Structure 1
Amino acid sequence: LPVPPLEVQREIVRILDNFTFLTTELAAELAARQKQYEFYRDFLLNFNDGCEEEINGNVRLMKLGELGKWSGGKTPSMAEKSFWENGSIPWISSKDMKFNTLLDTQDHITQKALIEASMTLYPANSIAVVTRSGILKHTFPVAYIPFPTTINQDIKILVVNDEILPRYAFHVIQSKGKDILEKTKKQGGTVDSLDFQKVLAFKVLVPTKSIQQKLVDKLDRFDALCNDISSGLPAEIEMRQKQYEYYRDKLLTFKELKKEA
């Protein structure tokens, strides 16, 4: 490794530590904003803790199963290469469920797999949840899917009915994630999973469509700031990280001095 004189080392360390400090500050800001967003979201979506069937005619208590149609998926044969090679149809598995809104999936299937493996293509603006995965030890992943997609057997997907806005369903299910996980998780078993009948029976508050829209407008702005990987703080952190790596590599690259004969 190239080792410059101490005074040069100190200057390089000073510059790179400044970059690291800026990235750390942004990460701390993101964590604080995330907590703020979750508090704000939960406050807005609770309405009134004493809610029974209706609050002033504007808010109802509904089971998740009443929000629309829930479906499961499956995995086309991995041994059949024609089901996967050059596939263009998104196929969601647990490994994709790391973001609030998916931009794409890691795996794609072909039109042949869609037909011959009897896969179902679900419409855009659906909500996916993980029901079987090790991640359920501590987290209940929920994602909004803005594109048509297929899913595997560890995922359930919700296509909402006409009286529910898809983004409202996403926000309200995500806000109740801890409670859903606590009340529906199966005991024992080699892989963590949920009792999906209990998930369907879990109740959430649903206001009129006009109120849903107002809430969605507010929460989407905050959600983008905290979670959007193409804008907001996550994108800024990624940009700063790339900037740091660029300058680090430039600063730590030296021309090798030729030894005198």
Structure 2
Amino acid sequence: MLTTESSSNYHDLEKMSVNELLISINAEDQTVPFAVQKAIPQIEALVEQIVPRMQVGGRLFYIGAGTSGRLGVVDASECPPTFGVPFDLVVGIIAGGDKAIRKAVENAEDDSQQAWIDLADYHPGKNDTLIGIAASGRTPYVIGGLNTAREAGILTGCVVCNAGSLVAQAAEYPVEIVVGPEFLTGSTRMKSGTAQKLALNMISTAVMIRLGKVKGNKMVDMQLTNEKLVDRAVRMIIEELDIPQNEAEKLLAEHGSVRAVINAVKS
């Protein structure tokens, strides 16, 4: 029995009050960061391998099915606006294609050949990294993709929520975050999904910081796609350069990003 499939520690959920349900779910959720903490050495080892590859032009790919695939797509899609990187530097691929983001595609995760077919559109090379995401650790789509990528000399990692899984065996740098039984038996969108999201946050953010996409603690390369972000950028410039707001706004309009403004003024 996989840990992610083991029976919940709670019983007769339908008899609980709303307050009891929420308190119980929250109690389970509070255990997740501690499980992630135990996996930090594994996460560190993976990040240390990704960074030098991306420094010479490599890309980061996520593959997964269902909730796991969606989490990869979310993390990848946030990298361009947050760090100002090209949209194809971090790529999330979900079994069943983009339509599976909103609606489950039947049997998509059971095809062990399809992940590499999906990746082939991007012409993966030896500086790239492939991270398989699978709570169960047994998803054929992910296992097949990792095995083929590894044979092709591509760095492989994974994020799973069961120990000793086939996905972990297929990856050179596995990250195993065992969160225990779900509150709702087998519903890995809950604790397992939270653990995977935390791990992906850590991986992509740490990688981008090491790639120089952050200055101090600021997102100086973020894309200015709405008023909130423009206001944030202006505040960053004011804080960094100690200049009036109107001057900061003028410089931002002229140069287009916080980093460009800072470089122009301090060069």
Give the TM-score taking structure 2 as reference length. Answer: 0.27
Find the structure with the greater CA-based Rg: 1
Q: Which has the higher strand share?
A: 1
Q: Which has the higher helix share?
A: 2
Give the TM-score taking structure 1 as reference length. Answer: 0.27
